Chain A
Amino acid sequence: MHLRGGIALIKKSMFSYMASRGFFWTLTFGWMMLPLIYMFVWIVAAGEGAISGFTKQDFITYYVFLIFINQLTYPTSHWTVGDQINAGTFSVWLLRPLPPIYEAISTDIAVKVVCLPFVFLFLIVVSLFFKFKLTIDATLVWLFILSLIMAQVLRFMVAYTLAIFALFVEKIHALLRTNDTLIFLLAGQVIPTVLLPDLIKGVSNFLPYRYMLGFPIELILGKLNSNQIITGLALQCIWIVVVILINRVIWKKGIKSYTAVGG
């Protein structure tokens, strides 16, 4: 089993990151800013009325959740994995008696743990300021947790799969940035995906992006009926399987064409 080694790796990354909290907190502040701006804009746009069933209060709840879940699911490792491959330090990972994916997972978990206190503080301030209210259907909680875990896995796997493209090509930042822009537009950051214009909504319902971020939030807020929930969860599963399969293929081909660079 690789698990023991994996846990050791997580601990190592976490402590070394803890030492440079300031750096990560600055980073986190940047990630939380954009959703916060969209919350402002939608609060103003909704005014005292409602936009397709979303009132001011709904937007506040939605975006407070979004800031939190975006933080939980945002994979930081995909930037580092690509850089490591390009720099040649990736060879060190290959020599370890652990699959390199553990390195990526440990980075991810470590960053999240280090950032969490700051995220909570930020969210508490925002919630108090905007009078955050929440009524949750108890049965939805379990479904929410399930879909949140799947969202996490999906977003990580997509990012990691794109990152190991670096085994073939040198410039993968273009790919990763495209991915980030699509997430920004289609995953529910600009607008809850249920409110997207019909045509784009149809597209976003089939792409994986909605299931990385927006879907769990819409679920817990009770904006989806049981049919939509079942379809959503099924699509999440399907996408995870598809991405993992693609990942395996790319990994097998890529590792053969990998030639270390650097000295």
Chain B
Amino acid sequence: MNQFKLLKRLVVIYFKKALQQEIAFRFDFFVKILFTLLELAGSVGGILIIFSKVETINGWHFHETLVVTGMFLLIQNLKNLFIGPSLNGISGLDGELWTGRFDFTLLKPVPTQFYISIQKWSPLVIIDLVISMAVIAYALIQISTTVTIINIVAFIISIFISLTLLYSIMLALTSAAFWYLGTPLLWIFDSVIQMGRYPVKIYPTTFKFILTWVIPVGFMITIPAESLIGKVNLFEISGGILLAVFCYLISLMFFRRSIQKYSSASS
């Protein structure tokens, strides 16, 4: 229990520190808003253009696809809030592995894995989170399905699955950086998750299978969106829980193995 309190306090401290840093540059705030609007224009503009040509893509209407796009933005932004920046600070360009500062991280009297996952925050991403939720809400109102309790429960579970998978994959890629120093492996994740911009259910069976079970962008984005619309089934949810637990354990083992490989760096 003491351990837990310590961790909670660390999260608060690091969040506050990041917030103070960001508030210091007021102009950055407006640039950030502009970037948010650009990202939104790109994503929503992209599907608007497609649906100006076709009514449905394999049974998916505009507003249903918009829920998926909103979910894509939501998951991306949840990642950008702290998991992304923190892990990037370890394995990215000029990250701790590269400079050798990871020595100090290992020496800190807190669980290493936890520390490297929460050490950097981007508080302004909260704006993006609100906007992506607004996109989802707007699309849901347009579809005018009643969101039942069951949908919400399914949604919460699938968001958990989604974030666990996301974290596991990013942790595994960070661990891989111990072996392949100097390659920004997390960028691969950013590229591959783009596959989730559209519902994976529109693709032919083979791709659908690969994108759900092998590269699980389906579980990360499409299935949380579907659970809100009420299209999800029990099989997928329970399969997702198993997959998430499996991936987390694998990446945890890999991370522990990789830390032992670390041999510092110096100039």
Stretch at the interface among A28-36, A113-121, A232-240: A28-36
Residue A181 interfacial (CB < 8 Å): yes
Contact of B35 with A177 in the complex, beta carbons under 8 Å: yes
Closest 7 CB pairs of A and B: A30-B191, A22-B183, A33-B191, A181-B38, A197-B52, A190-B46, A45-B54
Contact of B35 with A196 in the complex, beta carbons under 8 Å: no
Q: Which of B42, B54, B190, B195 contacts A181 (CB 8 A)?
A: B42
Contact of B45 with A44 in the complex, beta carbons under 8 Å: no
User: Which residues of the partner chain B approach A45 to less than 8 Å between Cβ atoms?
Assistant: 50, 53-54, 57
- Residues of A at under 8 Å CB distance from B? 20, 22-23, 26-27, 29-30, 33-34, 37-38, 40-42, 44-45, 51-52, 171, 173-174, 177-178, 181, 184-185, 190-191, 195-197, 200
* Known contacts A37-B198, A190-B45, A191-B53; is-contact A26 B185 (Cβ 8 Å): yes
A102 to B52, CA, bound (A): 43
User: Which residues of the partner chain A approach B34 to less than 8 Å between Cβ atoms?
Assistant: 174, 177-178
Contact of A191 with B49 in the complex, beta carbons under 8 Å: yes
Q: A29-B191, A181-B42 are in contact. List 18 more A-B contacts (CB 8 A).
A: A23-B183, A26-B187, A29-B188, A30-B191, A33-B194, A34-B194, A37-B194, A41-B57, A41-B198, A45-B54, A45-B57, A51-B54, A174-B31, A181-B41, A184-B46, A191-B53, A196-B49, A200-B49
Could you list 24 A-B pairs, sorted by A, with CB under 8 Å?
Answer: A20-B182, A22-B180, A22-B182, A23-B182, A30-B187, A30-B190, A33-B195, A37-B198, A38-B46, A40-B207, A41-B202, A44-B58, A51-B53, A171-B27, A171-B28, A174-B35, A177-B38, A185-B46, A185-B49, A190-B46, A190-B49, A191-B50, A195-B53, A200-B49
Interface string of B178-201 (1 = CB under 8 A from A): 001011110110111011011000
A190 to B204, CA, bound (A): 20
CB-based nearest B residue for A46:
B54
Residue B203 interfacial (CB < 8 Å): yes
What is the distance, in angstroms, from A23's C-beta to the closest C-beta of chain B?
6
CB-based nearest B residue for A200:
B49
A218 to B41, CA, bound (A): 25
What is the distance, in angstroms, from B106's C-beta to the closest C-beta of chain A?
25
Q: Which of A30, A37, A174, A197 contacts B197 (CB 8 A)?
A: A37
What is the distance, in angstroms, from B201's C-beta to the closest C-beta of chain A?
10
A185 to B38, CA, bound (A): 11
A76 to B198, CA, bound (A): 28
A115 to B229, CA, bound (A): 42
CB-based nearest B residue for A19:
B182
CB-based nearest B residue for A51:
B53
A200 to B48, CA, bound (A): 12
Contact of A44 with B35 in the complex, beta carbons under 8 Å: no
A30 to B193, CA, bound (A): 10
A220 to B184, CA, bound (A): 36
User: Which residues of the partner chain B approach A174 to less than 8 Å between Cβ atoms?
Assistant: 31, 34-35
User: Which residues of the partner chain A approach B187 to less than 8 Å between Cβ atoms?
Assistant: 26-27, 29-30
Q: Which of B42, B50, B52, B192 contacts A41 (CB 8 A)?
A: B50
A44 to B54, CA, bound (A): 11
Contact of A185 with B50 in the complex, beta carbons under 8 Å: no
User: Which residues of the partner chain A approach B58 to less than 8 Å between Cβ atoms?
Assistant: 44
What is the distance, in angstroms, from B216's C-beta to the closest C-beta of chain A?
16
User: Which residues of the partner chain A approach B41 to less than 8 Å between Cβ atoms?
Assistant: 181, 185
Q: Which of B27, B42, B54, B202 contacts A185 (CB 8 A)?
A: B42
A191 to B45, CA, bound (A): 11
Contact of A173 with B45 in the complex, beta carbons under 8 Å: no
What is the distance, in angstroms, from B34's C-beta to the closest C-beta of chain A?
5
User: Which residues of the partner chain B approach A178 to less than 8 Å between Cβ atoms?
Assistant: 34, 38
A45 to B65, CA, bound (A): 13
User: Which residues of the partner chain A approach B28 to less than 8 Å between Cβ atoms?
Assistant: 171
CB-based nearest B residue for A171:
B31
A195 to B54, CA, bound (A): 12
What is the distance, in angstroms, from A79's C-beta to the closest C-beta of chain B?
13
CB-based nearest A residue for B195:
A37
